[in-house]
Chain A
Amino acid sequence: MKSEKEAKLTAFTPLKGRLFPVFLAPFLKLLECVCELFVPIMVSMIVDGCLSETGEHYGDSGYAFGLVGAIFGFAFLGFGFTIFSQYLASRVSSEFGYDLRRLIFHKISALGEGELVSFGKKKALNLTGSDSIAVQNGVFMFMRLLTRAPFLLIGSIVASFILSWLGGLFVLGAFLLCAISITFVIALTPKQYGLLQNELDQIATMGGDALVGRRLMRSFNMQKGQKEKFASASSAYRKRAIGVVKISAFANPLTFAFANLGVLLVLYIAGFNGSGDMPLSVGTIIALINYLTQSLAAFLQFTRLLNSLSKAMASKKRVDSFLSIEPVVKEGDIKELPSGDIVYSLKDVSKGFGGENLVLKNLNLSVHKGEKLGIFGGTGSGKTVLFRLLSREFDPSEGEVRLYGNELKDYAFSAYKSQIAYVGGMSGFFKGSVRDNLTLGLDYNEEEILLALEKASAKKFVLEGEGGLDREVFEKGSNFSGGQKQRLLLARAILSNRPIQIYDDALSALDAKTESEVRKAILSNDDATILFVSQRIHSFASCDRVIVLDQGQIVAEGRHEELLETCSFYREVYELQRKEV
């Protein structure tokens, strides 16, 4: 899955191979603009040629109607070009969106759990949703809209120069002034928009907190303080928004003023020079005025587009940063897993996450083949981090984790991933049938499935439920109770029959009697190496060995009976639990 060429992916990578249509669409737009730009020329030809007494075709209505006919013709021709361009834009941008989403999803699949968590799964989810839509829209807009305004502008200038070099200069001057003022406005706003977004995020977070933490805030009498905090966040947003408006409100009046200044100058020059010989014909003046007003509208549309485009660019940046994540956990070369008596061996393993405390400290541990190792440890003991090291969600900060003699990081992922079954927590359900959720697409026959269900004490409720093995599993398994979900996950692990099995407090939601039955079924698998975490000390009686983890260190180790003798803490908890039993 991880090819060597993945390094330089960006959100625009899927555009490769589509460059022809991507640029053809704007070209068609250009043709449409040309059609539009011909219209004022036609009008000026009518005015100067047919309506003015000095014109060559004065009074020639046939000629005039011919020109009017051309204006009609250009309208339809332009329409044809633009429809084709829109079609291309919709087609290509939607296909681009498809590829982009797949690319992002592929990256999700290529990254390890650790990297996904540290990037933020919610952020990754948004990439496949709102962000890729935004980038897709950006491409769409580029292809069908963005080029229209510049083409109209440039075309107007060119056409004006064709009509009269002096007129061309005025149009050019007016546009330059408009462009400068708009650039000024645009240059100032994106940073403001960024800051505005930060303020908005703050508001969103506070709102979410107030709803989720509604009881908390009420019971701690936090309302007054929070409202004050919110009011200042809200008015900070407002101030920032008005700050943006202060700048952006210049766009409309400035372009209006400059375009009309152009009109004014055209009229001034036409009249000023004037003793008899007009430098600009009336038709030219009308055409120039037309270009000036027409392009004014294009200008304003363009600024609006740029705003929405900056949104697309922000999304593109997020996508890029995700696609460029270098997996921290890199694959090694060893493809075959050797065999041996010692499955795992940890030497002086420490793991920290940047804080002043380490989560695991100098851990030394060997796990033998077929061993049933009990692990006893509470919140913060480091057991979960230990398991994440064993399945290589990340590497240790210091020390070595070895699997069958070689360092875990030297293996190809395929060498060991399929060796380990981990059960813990309540997640891991897919929408689909119970059967699909147990087999995960692999081939098992009915008997094997039923046997696994029986061992996990899940056969009864599965078979008695409506639909049996084909019963539908909802999102997150929400149509099963906690205890049922746990048993289904256990059945899946039992069915997979992997050589290394980790049960991370995986029987916690079962009642004592069921727990004991399932535990026995799990631990009776002689071939499998099993790491078994439980909060119930008596469950360790059937383990070969037990380690006690506390604050990242092994504080005691031995058989259950030995620990009862030697470890006072172990015994204390045992007594307490026995009193309950």
Chain B
Amino acid sequence: MVHSLKNIFSLFKGKGPKLVVCFLFAFLSITSKLAIPFLSGKAIDILRETFVFADLLPYLFAIFGLLLFGAVMRYFFDFLANGLVEEVLNGLRNDLYASYLDSSLTAIEKRKQGDLLSCLLGDMDTLQKGLVSGATAVYEGIVQILLTIVFMFLLSPILSAAVIVLTPISVLMSRFIAKKNANGFKRQNAMLGEVAAFALESLDNSSTIESYGLWKDKEEKFAERAKSLQKASFSAQFAASLINPCTRLVNNIIYATLVLLGVVILMFDTPFSVGFTVGALSSFLSYAYQYMAPFNEVADASSDVIFASVAADRIREAVSLDRESEEGEAFEGNLAEVRGENIVFGYDPSRPVLKGIDFDIKKGMKVALVGTTGCGKTTLLSLLMRFYDQNSGSFHFNESDLSSLSLHSSRAEEGVILQDAILLSGTVYENVAIGRIDASKQEIVQACIDAGADPFIRALKDGYDTKLNANSNLSEGQKQLLNLARVMLLDKELMLLDEATSHLDLLTEIKLQESFRKLTKGKTSIIVAHRLSTVVDSDMILVMDQGKIVESGTYAELIRKNGFFAELYRSQLS
């Protein structure tokens, strides 16, 4: 707990003055709040004994002043504390997002994407809850409890001692139940997972289920799982709901004990009876009530704070992933040559995927990369896009070593179609214009027409204004057409196309040939093709096998050579 609090406090680095002000507001508002019962107890004694209104009046004014002052201070505290929390969270959110975009792919891909994303959602939420609860814990817990003890001792040390000795019982009780509960909730969550997995499978396969008349069976199986969930959730909920009544019971017993002690002290002549009045008993009972209440809150808050601390650690880790380098000079001039020299690379350096690749591509050449699955084609393109750094060897744009150029400027030379076509959230217009936000609508439509995407876009309900997102119901082929349109809109010197048409059928692909010709005309292009028939007119074919370039030449040369390529060509076609 202490560690967690420390951990969370460290998020507020540089915000010390604001924290102090927050704490001051808390202190002032609670002091006002607690002084009121003290004063009203005094007032009651005046009513009981002297009964002079003029004697009472100062107390009434003081109470009035305190309630106004306390209310204002409380508002400032709530407002400031929440504002401070939001300020910290806002900073963290931006850091996280920057980390998603600026971190090296190696660092990102080592982690589960879902985990990284949940930093931004679940963990942020947990952190927010924990910070607000933490503030409440400090407010009601530390400050209020301590001040209440002070006021109680002023009234009656013996009753205070009784309260302080007895209260931990209720706290221990609620902790004990909560601990027992953890298992129940774990089981409930596990069952929830099973129910969700089953529902997911059924939804994914709904047309199969429908067509084979399996719904009845599925409903029965779903009911079985839902039943186990129900049992788990009953025991978890019941156990959890015991905490409040049990602590309330203990608190009520303490309260009754205090009344008992008070009666004894007031009615009998005990060593404690001196100076203890009915008014004091009244004040004391209010304090006892206010003293016990926050313990539960603090107990609740403490688990929130612990969760928040874990969340903060996860977020911190996600924020501090290794970044891509921002260094490097800008590429200048016209890209006349792309060279690779003895490129060696492995995602795990001990198991290289590329084992010494050399190539030299001159401006305007159309180069095809071919080879069996897993031979390193995509990896080679990834290195050119600098998603990863090669273990050894170097790439060159003209005479510049690629690694001496800034990422931004070398990527700015490249027009890329990646293997996976991904939709971003936004309209069709926005999705196509990601590389050129300033493109006009006409240009975008033209790019879509060139990419063969226009007909299906126009069949969508809102046409080009249709809002898309990662889960949009477009076929892979349609997504690839949009991917193509994105590049059609750009004017880049080096085109890197990785299986740009893998989800398109031959028919569509043939129709798009003219567009591809237009796209690569006058440009240097490196193409990973999934149909060997499309590499026929390449200026150079680089044939890769097991991380090496085993042959290169034109189609005619390679067929004549009757080597690896010729064999590959025949095997793919037969």
Contacts and interface: CB of A to CB of B under 8 A. Distances in A.
A466 interface: no
A85 to B, nearest CB: 9
A86 B70 contact: no
B266 A51 contact: yes
Interface string B421-444: 010110000000011010000000
Q: How many interface residues does chain A have, given as a range?
A: 35 or more
Given A102-B223, A113-B206, A206-B425, A122 B238 contact: no
B120 A39 contact: no
Contact of B98 (A212, A227, A250, A422): A227
B290 A293 contact: yes
Interface string A409-428: 00000100110111000011
Interface in A43-90: 43, 46-47, 50-52, 59, 61, 64-65, 68, 71-72, 74-76, 78-79, 82-83, 86-87, 89-90
A207 B97 contact: yes
A297 B420 CA distance: 56
A257 interface: yes
Interface in B186-235: 192, 195-197, 199-219, 222-223, 226-227, 229-231, 233-234
B47 interface: yes
B121 A204 contact: yes
A254 B71 contact: yes
Contact of B100 (A211, A254, A267): A211
A529 B47 CA distance: 100
Given A50-B267, A212-B422, A274-B51, A219 B199 contact: no
A8 interface: no
Interface stretch (A103-111, A310-318, A452-460): A103-111
Contacts of B237: 89-90, 93-94, 140
Interface string A496-536: 10000000010000001100000000000000000000010
Q: Most chain-B CB neighbours within 10 Å: which of A36, A97, A200, A245? A: A245
Contacts of A16: none
B172 interface: no
A175 to B, nearest CB: 16
B508 A293 contact: no
Interface stretch (A159-167, A229-237, A362-370, A443-451): A229-237
A101 B203 contact: no
Contacts of B457: 355
Contacts of B96: 207
A210 B259 contact: no
A208 B233 contact: no
Interface in A519-557: 535, 550-551
Interface residues of B, number: 159
Contacts of A384: 475
B89 A238 contact: yes
A354 B461 contact: yes
A220 B98 CA distance: 16
Contacts of A377: 507
B375 interface: no
A222 interface: yes
B507 A573 contact: yes
Nearest to B531: A580
Interface stretch (B1-9, B11-19, B241-249): B241-249
B411 A376 contact: no
A90 B205 contact: no
B469 A94 contact: no
A300 B41 CA distance: 24
Q: How would you classify the secondary structure of chain B's contact residues: helix, strand, loop or mixed?
A: helix
Given A51-B267, A218-B411, A263-B63, A102 B226 contact: yes
B90 A293 contact: no
A214 interface: yes
Interface in A236-295: 237-238, 241-242, 245-246, 248-250, 252-254, 256-257, 260-261, 263-264, 267-268, 270-272, 274, 276, 278, 282, 285-286, 289-290, 293-294
Contact of B108 (A64, A206, A214): A214
B120 A203 contact: yes
Q: How would you classify the secondary structure of chain A's contact residues: helix, strand, loop or mixed?
A: helix
Contact of A475 (B197, B289, B324): B197
Q: Most chain-B CB neighbours within 10 Å: which of A136, A209, A268, A271? A: A271
Contact of B259 (A43, A86, A391, A505): A43
Contact of A282 (B71, B89, B278, B458): B278
A389 to B, nearest CB: 14
A112 interface: yes
A511 to B, nearest CB: 8
A75 B252 contact: yes
A176 interface: no
B573 A580 contact: yes
A264 B210 CA distance: 70
B121 A272 contact: no
B267 A59 contact: yes
Contacts of B418: 215-216, 219
A71 B424 contact: no
Contacts of A220: 411, 416, 434-435, 486
A307 interface: no
B533 A429 contact: no
Given A46-B259, A68-B256, A71-B256, A221 B408 contact: yes
A580 B211 contact: no
B263 A353 contact: no
B395 to A, nearest CB: 15
Contacts of A580: 531-533, 572-573
A581 interface: yes
B105 A215 contact: yes
A109 B219 contact: yes
A367 B469 CA distance: 38
A89 B87 contact: no
A117 B473 contact: yes
A465 interface: no
A418 B407 CA distance: 58
B196 A128 contact: yes
List the 7 closest pairs (A to B, CB-CB), nearest first. A378-B507, A75-B252, A253-B71, A354-B461, A249-B78, A90-B238, A379-B477
Given A278-B47, A294-B289, 20 more contacts: A51-B267, A65-B260, A93-B237, A94-B231, A98-B227, A101-B229, A102-B226, A125-B196, A209-B470, A211-B108, A211-B117, A230-B93, A256-B33, A264-B67, A267-B60, A278-B51, A289-B37, A357-B459, A379-B505, A579-B533
29 contacts: A39-B256, A51-B263, A52-B278, A64-B267, A71-B259, A98-B226, A102-B223, A109-B215, A116-B203, A121-B206, A124-B199, A124-B203, A125-B199, A128-B199, A200-B121, A203-B93, A206-B97, A207-B100, A216-B422, A219-B418, A237-B93, A242-B82, A253-B71, A263-B63, A267-B44, A267-B63, A293-B286, A384-B475, A475-B201
